[in-house]
Amino acid sequence: MRGLSIVGVPLPDALFGNMDNDMGEKWLIFLTNWSMVLLGTYLWTAFAASLYTDHSPRLLQTVWVLRNCTAVAALVVSLLFWCVLFPAIKKTSWTDVHCHAVNSFLVLLDLTLTHVPYYFKHGWMPFLYLVLYLLFSVVYWAEGGTDPEGDPYIYEPLDYDHPGAATGLVLAVVFLVVPFVHVSLYAYTRCLSQGLCQACFGEGGKMGRREGARTDRLPLLPA
Nearest-10 Cα torsion for 157, 23, 130, 93: 70
Pick 78 or 212 by higher pLDDT.
78
Is pTM beyond 0.75? Reply is yes
Pick 9 or 13 by higher pLDDT.
13
Pick 220 or 74 by higher pLDDT.
74
Specify the pLDDT at position 89.
Answer: 73
Residue 126 contacts residue 174 (beta carbons within 8 Å):
no
Its sign, for the CA torsion 149, 152, 157, 162, is negative
Q: Give the pLDDT band of residue 37 (cuts 50, 70, 90).
A: very high
Mean pLDDT, the chain, integer: 79
Residue 211, amino acid: E
Least confident of 127-131, 135-139, 210-214: 210-214
Specify the pLDDT at position 217.
Answer: 43
Q: Return d(Cα 218, Cα 82) in angstroms, integer.
A: 36
Q: Give the pLDDT band of residue 75 (cuts 50, 70, 90).
A: very high
Pick 98 or 206 by higher pLDDT.
98
Specify the pLDDT at position 21.
Answer: 55
